């Protein structure tokens, strides 16, 4: 399989990443956005799973009309998974670096490495060494569409002397490495009110690690293309007529006409075109099926077509996993609503609530008369009632996304 152009020793360029995507060769980034391939690197985005090392719990993902973002607290470090799933050959290694925009906001530098033969999502740490919280945009919204924002630049290098290739078997969503050992080591069980949140977080990590994407309509459509290629290959080996071979490709050809998968259509048309090539007199060039059985170029086209289908299946798996993460995080925060409200009650007006409780207890015990306690309780009521109203509204009211950004 073709390799990207840069020889061993130097960093791969933006054009190398685009070529690798087209050929699904030694570097696979799912999903791939050609606008993120710039200069000597590819800009990776973050997922919705963001964990605070200091607070030992998930970081709230917020959104407004324009963007989805998080806020990193002063002197805190957060862990997050990459939005992309990465597969590299044994002759590819890399490094990760902070984008200038992130460094300019005050975030600490990212500096880590990528080993050859990596397969899965990546775990990143982002540190805020400043005395102020830093807002970090994860996604941008535009006309109803959401686009993941590149936060970390991946720079890949070819290791001279190595020759390994990614196979179709490697292009499916495996149990993602995502360094679960690090998640577990850095997430010690807190005591008190955060214990339940910790246990819920560990459950989320486990569910994501064991996630298996359901095979829906998208997978069925792509599998149909693979099945067509297999069927045609079998017809060729059995020596069936060229007419039977052409007929086998027609349903898939018609199904792909309305497809938005440009690369898939191009590869299918190039492969299918071999059976439909015509001479200047209008006759078909292929008259003997035995010629096709010996055609190495046709076999290469077939392999590229099947590889493209497996890549698109991987992209669908990653999309479904991201969707699962987002929904799972939303459930987590819904479950934490009562805990957050209890903390709010304890944080402010706590003295008023405590004082009122003491006065009531003293009146029941006969230490003071009820007549003496009532005037004070009436005054405290003006402080306590708003707390009660706040709890009721937040528990049963409608929550709207943050509109300030």
What is residue 262's DSSP assignment?
H
Among 75, 17, 80, 6, smallest CA distance to 47 is for 80
Query: Quick one: pLDDT at residue 398?
Result: 41
pLDDT for 234: 95
The pLDDT score that the predictor gives to residue 263 is 94
pLDDT digits (tens, 9 = 90+) for 177-227: 566 666 666 555 655 545 676 777 778 888 888 888 999 999 999 999 999
Q: Which residues contact 82 (CB under 8 A, 6 or more apart)?
A: 44, 45, 46, 47, 121, 122, 123, 124, 152
More confident of the two residues 350 and 72: 72
Q: Among the listed ranges 75-79, 143-147, 240-244, 364-368, which one has the minimum average pLDDT value?
A: 364-368
For the segment 69-79, what is each residue's pLDDT rounded down to a tens digit? 999 999 999 99
Please provide the average confidence, as pLDDT, over all residues in the chain.
80
Instruction: Please report how many Cα atoms fall inside a 13 Å half-sphere around the Cα of residue 212, on the Cβ side.
Output: 1
Q: What is the rounded distance in angstroms from the CA atom of residue 274 to the CA atom of residue 286?
A: 8
Find where tokens 């479950």 sit.
Answer: 335
Contact 150, 89 (CB under 8 A): no
Sign of the CA dihedral running 366, 368, 372, 378: negative
Predicted pLDDT at 364: 59
Residue 187 or residue 397, greater confidence:
187
- If DSSP codes are grouped into helix, strand and coil, which group holds residue 48? strand
In degrees and rounded to multiples of 5, residue 45 shows phi and psi of: -105, 170
Compute, in degrees rounded to 10, the torsion defined by CA atoms 248, 254, 260, 265: 40
CA 169 to mean position of chain CA atoms: 21
> Under the phi-then-psi rule, with left for phi > 0, alpha for psi from -120 to 50, and beta for the rest, what region is 52?
beta
Contact 124, 152 (CB under 8 A): yes
**C-alpha dist (Å) from residue 197 to 126, 203, 338:** 22, 10, 12
Check if the beta carbon of residue 150 is closer than 8 Å to that of residue 138. no
Residue bearing the bigger pLDDT, 249 or 345 = 249
Residue with tokens 């005591």: 191
Q: What are φ and ψ of residue 28, in 5° steps?
A: -125, 120
Q: What is the number of other CB atoms lying within 10 angstroms of the CB of residue 2?
A: 13
3-state secondary structure of 236: helix
State yes or no: pLDDT of 393 exceeds 80: no
Give per-residue pLDDT as tens, 102-138.
888 989 877 889 989 999 899 888 999 999 999 999 9
Residue 404 confidence (pLDDT): 45
Average pLDDT of the residues in 51-69:
89
pLDDT of residue 331 exceeding 90: no
């Amino acid at each position: 399989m073709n390799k990207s152009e840069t020889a061993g020793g130097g960093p791969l360029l933006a054009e190398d990443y685009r070529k690798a995507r087209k050929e699904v060769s030694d570097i696979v980034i799912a999903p791939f956005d050609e606008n993120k391939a710039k200069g000597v690197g590819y800009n990776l985005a973050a997922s919705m799973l963001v964990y605070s090392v200091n607070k030992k719990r998930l970081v709230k993902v917020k959104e407004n009309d324009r963007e989805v973002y998080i806020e990193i607290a002063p002197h805190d470090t957060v862990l997050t998974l990459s939005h992309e799933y990465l597969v590299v050959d044994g002759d590819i290694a890399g490094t990760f670096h902070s984008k200038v925009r992130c460094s300019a906001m005050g975030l600490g530098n990212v500096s880590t490495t990528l080993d050859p033969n990596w397969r899965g999502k990546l775990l990143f740490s982002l540190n805020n060494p400043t005395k102020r919280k830093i807002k970090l945009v994860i996604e941008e919204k535009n006309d109803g569409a959401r686009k993941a924002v590149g936060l970390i630049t991946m720079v890949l290098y070819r290791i001279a002397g190595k020759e390994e290739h990614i196979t179709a078997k490697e292009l499916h969503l495996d149990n993602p490495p995502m360094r679960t050992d690090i998640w577990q080591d850095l997430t010690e069980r807190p005591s008190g009110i955060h214990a339940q949140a910790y246990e819920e977080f560990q459950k989320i990590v486990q569910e994501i690690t064991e996630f298996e994407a359901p095979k829906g309509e998208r997978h069925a459509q792509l599998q149909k293309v693979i099945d067509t290629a297999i069927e045609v290959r079998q017809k060729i080996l059995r020596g069936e007529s060229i007419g039977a071979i052409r007929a086998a490709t027609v349903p898939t050809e018609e199904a792909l006409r309305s497809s938005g998968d440009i690369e898939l259509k191009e590869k299918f048309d190039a492969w299918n075109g071999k059976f439909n090539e015509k001479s200047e007199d209008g006759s078909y060039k292929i008259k003997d099926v035995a010629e096709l059985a010996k055609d190495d170029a046709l076999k290469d086209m077939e392999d590229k077509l099947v590889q493209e289908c497996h890549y698109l299946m991987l992209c669908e798996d990653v999309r479904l996993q991201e969707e699962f993460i987002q929904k799972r995080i939303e459930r987590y925060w819904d479950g934490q609503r009562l805990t957050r409200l209890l903390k709010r009650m304890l944080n402010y007006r706590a003295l008023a609530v405590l004082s009122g409780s003491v006065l009531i207890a003293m009146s029941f015990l006969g230490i003071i008369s009820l007549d003496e306690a009532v005037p004070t309780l009436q005054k405290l009521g003006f402080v306590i009632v708003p707390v009660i109203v706040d709890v009721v509204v937040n528990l049963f009211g409608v929550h709207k996304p943050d509109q300030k950004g």
